[in-house]
Amino acid sequence: MNPSLEGITIWDGVSVAGPRRLEWSGDRIESVQPADDRFPGLSVIPGLVDTHVHLDTSVLDGAGPGDAWPLVTPDEEKAMHVAAHALRFAASGVTTLRDLAATSVQIAVGRAFDQGVLDGPRLLASGPVGMTAGHGDLFTPPRFRDRPPVADSPDECRRLVRQWAREGASGIKIYTSGGIFSMGDRVGWRNQTRAEIAATVDEAHALQLRVAAHAHTAEGIDIALAEGVDSIEHATGVTEEQFAALVAADMPVGPTLLINDQVAAGGNGIRAESSEKARDVVAGRDPAFRAAARAGVRFVLGTDANGRFVRHGGQLDELRAMQQLFDWTAERALVSATSDAAASLGLGSSLGRVAEGYHADFVVVRGRPWESLDELTTDRIVAVVSRGRVLAGQLPG
């Protein structure tokens, strides 16, 4: 007999259905049928999708962003931390995580989860393609010799995309501006030439990899739009003149609100350089984002969470921040973290909804979070199911 929940209210990723009998088999939802409410006070929502995370940081307290952990820790050991982060995020209801600066480590852990070697959430891994002195490159201190790969011509970009495809990445990450945590660059630096970006996007799309573009500046957003990327990350410098093009392209934008606020606020071992940069990029962000949301720009849940900035469960706080800033209903915010986030990854017909034929990823919660996001907190989560298996908590009944 298939596992089931007999009579529980379902919010399906778009709208609320009354009490339903939810039946699944392995990783597939078999049926969702009307039923008497046997669990009043509880409800089921789809597992959340965070389109922008970074999992290769230490899960142990005490390691700060400026420290040597990423440089001195062997990949074998990093893999344990990546898996531990993924499971801790999953315990807060996030059953799909896209790591936007993946190495072979995230790809390997994602594969182990996919194959059932370990029970875990869906971990999508996007390999970075960036230039020497670009945002990605300068996460490693400038004089350090052992550096991740960079690409400094259209041909090198194509080769690096192909290497990621060979490795098993599910997407590519590019940069069209400088960034905040990188050491010694400026946010306003253009990253790569148009020809390099065009080659990367063309090669990625030829190999069926989606391209996510890190862009803080208006120039970087223009380049990303013109070159046909599949999502824009941060977008803090968005201008009113860009709203129409973003809407016309139906471009998903990951707003990464809380991390930029946290870094701007400083403390927690953050370098002064990073705080200063973050204060600059958030200075004009909120009114621009509010206007963008009003104009119909497609914001989806993308937090940049790494377990240290935006900690485990921080996605739920990010959603509340998005609701408030964008002047959304709770339901609209949840759409941005479920069905629309999945659609933004090209997975809208299999993920992000509680419906027949979809993957069996869902969360049992106390309350009605689509009516009030205050009800969506980690301690109110009763069970997290991913691929049909309970990853955290316990199914009711």
Query: Please, what is the minimum distance in Å from the beta carbon of residue 55 to Zn ion?
Result: 11
What is the distance between the alpha carbons of residues 218 and 188, in angstroms, rounded to a whole number? 9
Closer of 196 and 304 to Zn ion (Cβ): 304
What is the distance between the alpha carbons of residues 317 and 321, in angstroms, rounded to a whole number? 6
Query: Please, what is the minimum distance in Å from the beta carbon of residue 100 to Zn ion?
Result: 5
Contact region with Zn ion (CB under 5 A), list: 31-39, 85-93, 94-102, 244-252: 94-102
> How many residues bind to Zn ion according to rule CB under 5 A?
2
Closer of 256 and 339 to Zn ion (Cβ): 256
Query: Please, what is the minimum distance in Å from the beta carbon of residue 52 to Zn ion?
Result: 6
Query: Please, what is the minimum distance in Å from the beta carbon of residue 198 to Zn ion?
Result: 23
Contact region with Zn ion (CB under 5 A), list: 98-106, 340-348, 364-372, 388-396: 98-106
DSSP 354-366: -STTSBS-EEEEE
Query: Please, what is the minimum distance in Å from the beta carbon of residue 366 to Zn ion?
Result: 32
Q: Is 50 a residue that touches Zn ion (CB under 5 A)? A: no
Closer of 50 and 304 to Zn ion (Cβ): 304
Closer of 22 and 55 to Zn ion (Cβ): 55
Closer of 4 and 51 to Zn ion (Cβ): 51
Segment 294 to 323, residues that bind Zn ion, using CB under 5 A: 304
Site string for Zn ion, 247-286 (x = CB under 5 A): ----------------------------------------
Query: Please, what is the minimum distance in Å from the beta carbon of residue 65 to Zn ion?
Result: 12
Site string for Zn ion, 228-247 (x = CB under 5 A): --------------------
Q: What 3 state SS string does the chain have?
A: CCCEEEEEEEECCCCEEEEEEEEEECCEEEEEEECCCCCCCEEEEECEEEEEECCCCCCCCCCCCCCCHHHHCCHHHHHHHHHHHHHHHHCCCEEEEEECCCCHHHHHHHHHHHCCCCCCCEEEEEEECCCCCCCCHHHCCCCCCCCCCCCCCHHHHHHHHHHHHHHCCCEEEEECCCCCCCCCCCCCCCCCCHHHHHHHHHHHHHCCCEEEEEECCHHHHHHHHHCCCCEEEECCCCCHHHHHHHHHCCCEEECCHHHHHHHHHCCCCCCHHHHHHHHHHHHCHHHHHHHHHHHCCEECCCCCECCCCCCCCHHHHHHHHHHHHHCCCHHHHHHHHCHHHHHHCCCCCCCCCCCCCCECCEEEEECCCCCCHHHCCHHHEEEEEECCEEEEECCCC
Query: Please, what is the minimum distance in Å from the beta carbon of residue 258 to Zn ion?
Result: 13
Closer of 12 and 304 to Zn ion (Cβ): 304
Closer of 260 and 336 to Zn ion (Cβ): 260
Contact region with Zn ion (CB under 5 A), list: 15-23, 93-101, 291-299, 327-335: 93-101
Residue number with the smallest Cβ distance to Zn ion: 304
Query: Please, what is the minimum distance in Å from the beta carbon of residue 259 to Zn ion?
Result: 8
Closer of 5 and 100 to Zn ion (Cβ): 100
Q: What does the binding site for Zn ion look like in residue numbers (CB under 5 A)?
A: 100, 304
